[in-house]
């Protein structure tokens, strides 16, 4: 129980439990959840992030343990742990005791099917060391050490714990919910040019979906979802804190969404696995995202394909005898266009220097902060107008000191390199390109992107009230007494309103005048564009553009990765903005905000909305040029009410302010990852 030094003085009157009750709860068998891989087992429990009411739980724990401080700390935590079959592992026995009943009642009120609402608690040696049976000469509430996780599995899951915090739930859902599409991808592997590039991740994904045993993600209890997620992390390829297959699985989701046929699927998979073009295209994408237009660029990238990515590598060179780097980003006409990992760690970091003057430049790399504490591979890509791309690979050794810069290559820029010139083509290639360009002109013409307005879509306007309820006079209150009372919503109607579809139906109905607002810091910025082409080459001319991160051009809506960008004053909005209405675009809701405008700031580079996945299959061979127009074509703004706000996708919950009161609405069941 407790020593004299552990006694607690409690002024409030307590109803202590009889000593025999403590005897029932002191020593406990722990039936944890488990996942077995290669005859090794990981044991774990789930702990809700929402704790029991502090004072009430503390009082009950004190009464049960006769005021033992160690037990007072342990009992509320133990009481919430969920183990095998989703059952609580502590206070399982039905005891006729007021304190036990109160604790059980408290924990039963905290339930959620959202994995983001739980912590994973490993049942390993560390767990038992942190919660020993004895502290000093006294015994405390504890679990018997009957099941202990394999040390290797425990260490692996600790490194990969960020994949279990809910941010990848939508990707898990897509893989679980569509096993048939995964089977199609598996079946085409023998027909690919590089089948081994995909075999590992596809096999892993198929096995992962099999754990769900045919159940849909939305129908699974939270402990069943964790069973799938933990299995996924314990299998497949991983490198330290990066699960390589989980990262690569984003491609599988793209294939499931975009491939129109078996042949199109094979073409996409071969295109993305081509080592001759993949790295070059990644560099081109980063330059396009950051609007780099220089003819001679040197790009440093690391963290490629799951390699260490947390270190702060920096690219350096010397211009006119002066060092150019992040601390001195422009010398002469040369400049550092973008930096990475200085304060915010990126998943795929990259830096770029534009060499805009004649000279010979020595390119160096420094690891300013080796957060990975290991060897860090990197690539430096040199691009010049009209010339083949040159790639240089290197590795920063873990033991190399900061400041001991590595020389990677030497780049000579001639005057002719600073003049844009076409790539020399053979006669056959010229004819092929001319035919392709003629087809482009006929099919696409000069594509335009117009900021869409309410006349372009089916707009669901919020049924607006004049404001918050005003103070009523006696006559007005008397008149209201004479009116029949509005019918109270049924339970089914109230439950329906808790999900996005039902909530929007309610606030846009004519019989429900209201004032709907949002705190803009809770929403990712987005806008809708209407595309115009010379012919019918698009699946839809209405597209949504969502900012996943600041300083990067917007993307098509993503359900597998929540956006980290948030609306701010640049969008013409106050911290709390009025919601004008909602638009459904491709089965997902877009929220339109009153008086929002497109920003004119480098933090928010605008784009037209030219996404390759929106092209019809017959013009898929034009996808590269179409994608390049995304950042080249700016949205044209009309005078009509523009569709600017936020795409309600990628998050499990959304927060609104309805008539001055905070309201939390769940994403439509099963629609988050559509």
The pLDDT, as a whole number, for residue 461 is 94
Q: Which of 608, 607, 556, 609 is nearest to 289 (CA)?
A: 607
DSSP string, 287-337: HHHTT---SEEEEEEESGGGS---SEEEEEEEETTEEEBTTB-EETTEEEE
Residue 211, token pair as written in the block: 């754990």
Handedness of CA 64, 69, 71, 73 (dihedral sign): positive
| Range name among 7-16, 120-129, 612-621 with the lowest pLDDT average | 7-16
Q: Say which DSSP state 399 is in.
A: T
Q: Assess whether pLDDT exceeds 50 at residue 1.
A: no
Q: Please check whether residue 649 is in contact with residue 557, taking contact to mean a CB–CB distance below 8 angstroms.
A: yes
Q: Please check whether residue 203 is in contact with residue 194, taking contact to mean a CB–CB distance below 8 angstroms.
A: no
Examine the fold and report which residue of 141, 157, 173 is the final residue of a domain before the chain moves on.
157
The pLDDT, as a whole number, for residue 270 is 84
Cβ atoms within 10 Å, residue 48:
17
Whole-number Å distance between alpha carbons of 207 and 222: 20
Q: Assess whether pLDDT exceeds 90 at residue 672.
A: no
Residues 125 and 201 reside in one and the same domain: no
The pLDDT, as a whole number, for residue 184 is 93
Q: Say which DSSP state 7 is in.
A: B
Span 319-337, pLDDT tens digits: 999 999 999 999 999 999 9
Residues 503 and 565 reside in one and the same domain: yes
CATH code: domain of residue 373: 2.60.60
Please check whether residue 453 lies inside any domain of the structure.
no
Span 530-589, pLDDT tens digits: 999 999 999 999 999 999 888 888 999 887 667 889 999 999 999 999 999 999 998 899
Residues 153 and 165 reside in one and the same domain: no
Burial class of 608 by CB neighbour count within 10 A (0 to 12, 13 to 18, 19+): buried
Whole-number Å distance between alpha carbons of 536 and 534: 7
Q: Please check whether residue 133 is in contact with residue 139, taking contact to mean a CB–CB distance below 8 angstroms.
A: yes
- Alpha-carbon Rg for the chain, nearest whole angstrom, is 30
Please check whether residue 120 lies inside any domain of the structure.
yes
Whole-number Å distance between alpha carbons of 562 and 166: 10
Span 76-103, pLDDT tens digits: 999 999 999 999 999 988 888 999 999 9
Cβ atoms within 10 Å, residue 233:
25
Please check whether residue 475 lies inside any domain of the structure.
no
Examine the fold and report which residue of 126, 157, 188 is the final residue of a domain before the chain moves on.
157
Containing structural domain, residue 33: 4-157
- Of the pLDDT bands very low, low, confident and very high (cuts 50, 70, 90), residue 421 is low
Whole-number Å distance between alpha carbons of 565 and 568: 9
Examine the fold and report which residue of 238, 272, 306 is the final residue of a domain before the chain moves on.
272
Residues 152 and 178 reside in one and the same domain: no
Please check whether residue 446 lies inside any domain of the structure.
no
The pLDDT, as a whole number, for residue 45 is 97
The pLDDT, as a whole number, for residue 482 is 54
Query: Averaging pLDDT over each range in 262-271, 347-356, 359-368, 457-466, which range is the top one?
Result: 359-368
Instruction: Write down how long the chain is.
Output: 674
Q: Please check whether residue 391 is in contact with residue 274, taking contact to mean a CB–CB distance below 8 angstroms.
A: no
Residue 187's φ and ψ, nearest 5 degrees, are -70, -30
Residues 14 and 58 reside in one and the same domain: yes
- Of the pLDDT bands very low, low, confident and very high (cuts 50, 70, 90), residue 306 is low
Q: Please check whether residue 124 is in contact with residue 152, taking contact to mean a CB–CB distance below 8 angstroms.
A: no
Query: Averaging pLDDT over each range in 40-49, 366-375, 420-429, which range is the top one?
Result: 40-49
Span 427-469, pLDDT tens digits: 665 666 677 788 899 999 999 999 999 999 999 999 876 554 4
Torsion region of 53: left, alpha or beta (phi above 0 gives left; psi -120 to 50 gives alpha): beta
Residues 14 and 32 reside in one and the same domain: yes
User: How would you list the strands of the sheet with 334-338, edge to edge?
Assistant: 330-331, 334-338, 350-354, 296-302, 376-384, 390-396
Span 489-541, pLDDT tens digits: 443 444 444 788 989 999 999 888 899 999 999 999 999 999 999 999 999 99
The pLDDT, as a whole number, for residue 472 is 46
The number of folded domains in the chain is: 4
Whole-number Å distance between alpha carbons of 532 and 207: 43
Please check whether residue 576 lies inside any domain of the structure.
yes
Spatial CB neighbours of 78, under 8 Å, sequence gap ≥ 6: 28, 89, 90, 91, 141, 143
Residues 559 and 582 reside in one and the same domain: yes
Whole-number Å distance between alpha carbons of 674 and 671: 5
Please check whether residue 447 lies inside any domain of the structure.
no
Please check whether residue 432 lies inside any domain of the structure.
no
Whole-number Å distance between alpha carbons of 293 and 256: 33
Q: Distances from the Cα of 637 to the Cαs of 29, 51, 606, in angstroms? A: 66, 49, 12
Whole-number Å distance between alpha carbons of 382 and 68: 67
Q: Assess whether pLDDT exceeds 70 at residue 267.
A: yes
Where is 101: in which H helix or E strand? Answer: helix 98-108
Span 11-23, pLDDT tens digits: 444 566 677 888 8
Whole-number Å distance between alpha carbons of 186 and 199: 8
Q: Which of 54, 85, 66 is nearest to 25 (CA)?
A: 66
The pLDDT, as a whole number, for residue 54 is 94
Residues 394 and 536 reside in one and the same domain: no
Model-level pTM?
0.54
Residues 511 and 384 reside in one and the same domain: no
Cβ atoms within 10 Å, residue 283:
23
DSSP strand E in 23-73: where?
A: 27-28, 33-37, 40-48
Q: Assess whether pLDDT exceeds 70 at residue 476.
A: no
The pLDDT, as a whole number, for residue 640 is 67
3-state helix, strand, coil in the chain (%, to 5): 35, 25, 40
Whole-number Å distance between alpha carbons of 646 and 542: 15
Residues 194 and 239 reside in one and the same domain: yes
3-state SS, 279-298, equals HHHHHHHHHHHCCCCCCEEE
Q: Assess whether pLDDT exceeds 90 at residue 266.
A: no
Please check whether residue 11 lies inside any domain of the structure.
yes
Residue 389, token pair as written in the block: 């791309």
Residues 126 and 196 reside in one and the same domain: no
Q: Assess whether pLDDT exceeds 80 at residue 368.
A: yes
Residues 654 and 597 reside in one and the same domain: yes
């Amino acid at each position: 129980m407790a020593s004299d030094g552990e006694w607690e003085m409690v002024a409030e009157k307590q109803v202590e439990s009889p000593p025999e009750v403590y005897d029932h709860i002191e020593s406990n068998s722990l039936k944890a959840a488990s996942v077995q891989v290669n005859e090794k087992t990981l044991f774990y429990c789930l702990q809700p992030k929402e704790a029991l009411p502090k004072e009430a739980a503390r009082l009950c724990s004190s009464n049960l343990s006769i005021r033992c401080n160690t037990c007072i700390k342990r009992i509320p935590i133990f009481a919430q742990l969920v183990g095998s079959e989703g059952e609580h592992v502590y206070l399982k026995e039905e005891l006729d005791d007021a304190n036990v009943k109160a604790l059980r009642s408290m924990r039963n009120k905290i339930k959620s099917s959202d994995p983001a609402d739980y912590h994973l608690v490993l049942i390993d040696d560390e767990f038992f060391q942190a919660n020993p049976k004895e502290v000093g000469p006294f015994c405390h509430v504890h679990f018997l050490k009957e099941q202990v996780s394999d040390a290797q599995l425990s260490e692996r899951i600790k490194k990969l714990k960020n994949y279990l915090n809910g941010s990848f739930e939508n990707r898990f859902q897509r893989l679980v919910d569509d096993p048939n599409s995964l089977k199609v991808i598996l079946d085409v592997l023998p027909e690919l040019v590089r089948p081994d590039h995909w075999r590992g991740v596809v096999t892993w994904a198929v096995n992962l979906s099999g754990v769900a045993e045919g159940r849909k993600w939305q129908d699974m209890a939270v402990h069943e979802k964790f069973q799938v997620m933990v299995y996924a992390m314990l299998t497949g390829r991983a490198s330290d804190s990066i699960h390589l297959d989980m990262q690569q699985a984003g491609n599988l989701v793209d294939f499931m969404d975009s491939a129109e046929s078996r042949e199109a699927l094979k073409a996409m998979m071969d295109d993305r696995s081509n080592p001759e073009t993949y790295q070059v295209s990644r560099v081109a994408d980063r330059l396009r995202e950051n609007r780099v237009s220089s003819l001679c660029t040197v790009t440093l990238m690391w963290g490629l394909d799951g390699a260490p990515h947390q270190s702060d590598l920096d690219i350096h060179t010397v211009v006119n005898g002066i060092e150019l780097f992040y601390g001195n980003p422009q010398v002469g006409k040369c400049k550092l266009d973008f930096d990475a990992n200085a304060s915010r760690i990126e998943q795929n970091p990259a830096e770029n220097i534009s060499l805009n003057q004649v000279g010979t430049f020595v390119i160096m790399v420094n690891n300013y902060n080796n957060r990975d504490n290991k060897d860090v591979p990197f690539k430096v890509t040199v691009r010049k107008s009209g010339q083949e791309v040159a790639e240089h690979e290197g590795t920063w050794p873990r033991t190399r000191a900061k400041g001991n810069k590595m020389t990677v290559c030497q780049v000579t820029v001639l005057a002719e390199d600073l003049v844009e010139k076409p790539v020399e083509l053979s006669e056959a290639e010229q004819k092929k390109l001319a035919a392709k360009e003629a087809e482009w002109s006929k099919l696409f013409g000069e594509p335009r992107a117009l900021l869409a307005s309410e006349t372009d879509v089916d707009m669901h306007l919020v049924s607006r009230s004049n404001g918050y309820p005003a103070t009523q006079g006696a006559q007005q209150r008397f008149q209201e007494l004479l009116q029949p009372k509005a019918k109270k919503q049924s339970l089914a109607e109230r439950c329906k309103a808790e999900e996005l579809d039902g909530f929007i139906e309610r606030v846009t109905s004519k019989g429900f005048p209201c004032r709907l607002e949002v705190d803009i810091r809770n929403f990712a910025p987005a806008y809708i564009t209407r595309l115009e082409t010379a012919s019918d080459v698009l699946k839809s001319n209405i597209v949504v553009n969502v900012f996943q991160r600041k300083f990067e051009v917007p993307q098509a809506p993503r359900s597998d990765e929540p956006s980290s960008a948030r609306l701010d004053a640049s969008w013409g909005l106050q911290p709390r903005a009025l919601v004008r209405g909602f638009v459904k675009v491709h089965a997902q809701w877009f929220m339109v905000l009153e008086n929002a405008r497109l920003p004119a700031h480098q933090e928010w580079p605008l784009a037209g909305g030219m996404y390759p996945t929106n092209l019809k299959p017959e013009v898929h061979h034009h996808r590269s040029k179409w994608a390049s127009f995304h950042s080249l074509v700016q949205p044209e703004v009309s005078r009509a009410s523009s569709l600017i706000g936020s795409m309600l996708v990628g998050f499990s919950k959304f927060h609104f302010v309805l008539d001055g009161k905070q309201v939390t609405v769940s994403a439509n069941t099963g629609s988050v990852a559509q």
